[in-house]
Structure 1
Amino acid sequence: MKFDGDFGDHHNIVSFDIETTHYDPTKGETVAIGVGQHEIGSSASEAQYRIFARENPATADERDLVERAVEYINRLNGDTLVSYNGIEFDMDFLSERCAQFDPAPGPPRLHETGRHIDLFAGRKEACGPNDKWPSLEECLDSYDLPVPRTVWNGSPLDNTRFGTEFAPAFLDALADGDEQEISRFRGVLDHYLTTDLEANIALYCADQGLPFDPVHLRLHGEFQT
């Protein structure tokens, strides 16, 4: 779904995405957080991506994960935070999860100060009552942008499979402490989240009519763990 976005004049955009074991924060937990940064007008190859992941399965490590990611976002000094369904899902999920921590990590300053552009929100509002809400992949395809694939253990990885299969297996690997196995899981995480982060940036630019020639969206990853 194309969207005529008028998001204002931003130079340094920060892309944001989380991955969880379940869409309901009372039943799931945060497993990884991806952060990207792109300066408008620069080559897509110069965009930077960093993936923060759990380092052990303990509850305290989930709090530390959120703190590390938020501190990093705040240091980037971006103009705006860009996500796909990041306001209604990602930030709400983190808020509910963090409410149980003491001390509770706060949200990124860009979100707290209203400088968060959710690329899904306008599309959802434009849909009729019987319309299917567009996925991020469908939005990319509408602009003829590459649609990435992360194949894990023989099947494409999506949000549902991530939560029900991949994330629990990753947390089990952390509990076992097998560094080689953990490294293999991290390879999947890095590919899956990096492509989502670049997809956010590519879609933001497409909505604004700005040039962006993606790099990671063209890379299909196949992994075994």
Structure 2
Amino acid sequence: MRYPRDDPGHDRVATLDIETTATDPSSGELVSIGVGVHDCDESLTAATYETFHRRGDGPAGARGADDVDEAALVDRAMGRLADADPDGLVTYNGVEFDLSFVEGRLDRLGSAVDLPAITSSPVHLDLFLDRKRRAEDEGSPWPRLEACLEAYGYAPPKTVWRGAPLTNARFGEELGPAYLRTLGTETGARFRASLTEVIDHYLIGDLEATLALYYADLGESVEGSYLGTERRFD
């Protein structure tokens, strides 16, 4: 779905995306958070992307240490977002999912982490909300990020893991839990490193896709480092 917008005139925009084991913060956990930053007068290939993952630095079997690290994950990622000092934040379903999930997890953990002011409207633009309303008015399914990019002629990035494309469902059911099982164990360090590589590609692909969709809505043509690419992981 295309959704033309007026250019807000930002000099620097940021985006964020989270990866979780479920869509409900009462049953799922945060695994990773990605933050992308782009100076609007530069090529999209100059955008910077940083990923933050659960560390699980506690001893083997110390599940409580993993839970504490979930809040630390949020603190690290939100600190990076604030330090980037963007004029605007762009997300895809960030209002109803990403930020809502983060706040829900912090509440369940009893942890206080201040989210940057940039996460609130009007400087936070969720590219999904307008599309969701239009889809509901038309009686159509809610549009996925990949479909919106394809409507503008862009090929979304693709991460293939263990012979099949990685999706949000597969992440929650397979990759996310596999990563969390490596936390707090010395023997899991090597396996965790290989899974981190998969998560990074998947997460950064979504970050760039969101930025590309933002510029497409503004009527700008961009070239990215991940758009139209595919990477395979065993």
TM-score band, normalised by the shorter chain?
over 0.9
Give the counterpart letter for 1:38 in structure 2. Answer: H
Counterpart for residue 185 of structure 1: 195
**Residue by residue, what CA displacement relative to the aligned partner does 1:145-171 show, whole Å, maximum 9, x if unpaired?**
122111111111100110011100011
Counterpart for residue 42 of structure 2: 42
Deviation at 1:54, TM superposition (A): 0.7
Q: Within 1, Cα distance between the matches of 2:211 and 2:120? A: 20
Gaps of 5+ in 1: none
Equivalent of residue 218 in structure 1, options 193, 216, 228: 228
Deviation at 1:108, TM superposition (A): 2.2
Give the counterpart letter for 2:117 in structure 1. Answer: R
Residue 130 (structure 1) aligned with residue 139 (structure 2): yes
**Residue by residue, what CA displacement relative to the aligned partner does 1:33-79 show, whole Å, maximum 9, x if unpaired?**
00001111201221000000111161001000000000110000001
Residue 143 (structure 1) aligned with residue 152 (structure 2): yes
Residue 69 (structure 1) aligned with residue 83 (structure 2): no
Deviation at 1:5, TM superposition (A): 1.6
Q: What is the TM-score when the length of structure 1 is the normalising length?
A: 0.95
Secondary structure of 1:75's aligned partner: helix
Counterpart for residue 159 of structure 1: 168
Counterpart for residue 29 of structure 1: 29
**Residue by residue, what CA displacement relative to the aligned partner does 1:78-98 show, whole Å, maximum 9, x if unpaired?**
011110000111111111111
Q: Number of residue pairs matched?
A: 224
Q: Is the 8 A contact 1:41 1:211 kept in 2?
A: no
Deviation at 1:113, TM superposition (A): 5.7
Q: Is the 8 A contact 2:26 2:108 kept in 1?
A: no
Q: Within 2, Cα distance between the matches of 1:186 and 1:66? A: 17
Q: Within 2, Cα distance between the matches of 1:67 and 1:152? A: 29
CA RMSD of aligned residues (A): 1.4
Name which of structure 1's ranges 94-103 and 202-211 shifts more when overlaid on structure 2.
94-103
